[in-house]
Amino acid sequence: MRKCLIGIAIIIFLGCSFAYAGGSGDSVLPLRETTEFIGVGGGFEYNYVGSRLFDLNDKLFNNKVKSLKVKNNSQIYGKFPIGITKNTNLTAEVGGVNYDVKFINKNDVDAEINLKLTNGLYVGLGLNGAYPLEVLNIKNLYWGYTIQGAWYQNDVKSITRNGVDATDVDGTLYNFDGQNSLYLAYKWDWEGFHTSLIPYIGAFQTWMILGTAKGLSYKTSALKNTLEQDICAAYDFYSFGMVLGMDIDIAKYVSVNIEGRFIGENAVTTGVIVKF
């Protein structure tokens, strides 16, 4: 366990060092620019990641699993942004998450293991900013960044080994993940409807660290004894791709966002924030 904790700390440090900017789905422009009020908000968001470009591995620490895939990652949470400066938002998130895990167990003659999880707690924190791109002398053109990280934990509900359902299942997974992005945005004011459309496009990098907070244990008809399995800080920092989205600001009170991310992960995010 101590080895795993040290590994997690090292990998998170490296991940933060690689972050050139991260969170997807936040309001593109700062709250203090899009509202005439105090610059705080509240709302909800849904984030779905169907698959990632690269598998996770634990080669640095345990080297007991390979081809670890995280799929169908569904997150729904409340989010609470505050404009901490004229150009920057800080956003807290809390909600629920569920996803599927599949990997090859090197300690068990390369058996294929599939995990189904119970709903778990999701907690996140994000920072994003946007600034006028004055060098091009184009009004309402901005460059921006986002940095976002989250932690969540889920108990294991069921396990299959080589397609056979296991019994006496136990275990808990932890997960740290984050998304980093740089983008260009353009604000188009639809004055007759007191609405602004803000399309944006850019690049993102996403990272993930997954392991067992409580080791997996289970039995199957092919096993004489209970099999135990630990996953120690399996990680991926190399998934990257394109981000494309739009904010719709309505009467300076409401912001609606929809966003897609491609290549590095196949994902969609949508949400609504009420601003004050």
Computed over its alpha carbons, how large is the radius of gyration of the chain? 21
Q: Does the pLDDT of residue 21 top 80, yes or no? A: no
Q: Quick one: pLDDT at residue 1?
A: 52
pLDDT at residue 27 is higher than 50 = yes
Q: Residue range 85-89: average pLDDT?
A: 88
Measure the CA–CA gap between 175 and 173, rounded to whole angstroms. 7
pLDDT at 13 over 50: no
The DSSP symbol for 4 reads: H
Q: Sorting pLDDT into bands at 50, 70 and 90, what band is 70? A: very high
Copy the structure tokens of residue 89: 């938002």
> How many CA atoms, within 13 angstroms, populate the side-chain half-sphere of residue 57?
9
Other beta carbons within 10 Å of 190:
12
pLDDT at 136: 75
Residues contacting residue 77 through CB under 8 Å, at least 6 positions apart: 44, 45, 47, 93, 94, 95, 96, 122, 124
pLDDT at 75 over 90: yes
> Which of 128-137, 149-158, 176-185, 252-261 is the least confident region?
128-137
Give the pLDDT mean for 75-98. Answer: 93
User: Residue 5: pLDDT above 50?
Assistant: no
Q: Tokens standing for 199?
A: 């399309």
Is domain 2-189+197-275 in CATH 3.40.50, yes or no?
Answer: no
Per-range mean pLDDT, top range of 107-116, 131-140, 157-166 = 157-166
Neighbours of 264 (CB within 10 A): 23
Mean pLDDT for 105-132 is 93
Which band of pLDDT confidence, cut at 50, 70 and 90, is reported for residue 26?
Answer: low
pLDDT tens per residue across span 44-63: 999 999 999 999 988 877 77
Residue 16 has pLDDT above 60, yes or no: no
User: What tens digit of pLDDT does each residue of 156-199 get?
Assistant: 999 999 999 999 999 999 999 999 999 999 999 988 888 999 99
At residue 22, the pLDDT reads 31
Tell me the domain boundaries of the chain.
2-189+197-275
d(CA 90, CA 128): 7
Beta bridge partners, 61, equal none
- Residues 113-128 as b or e (16 or more Cβ within 10 Å = b): bbbebeebebebebbb
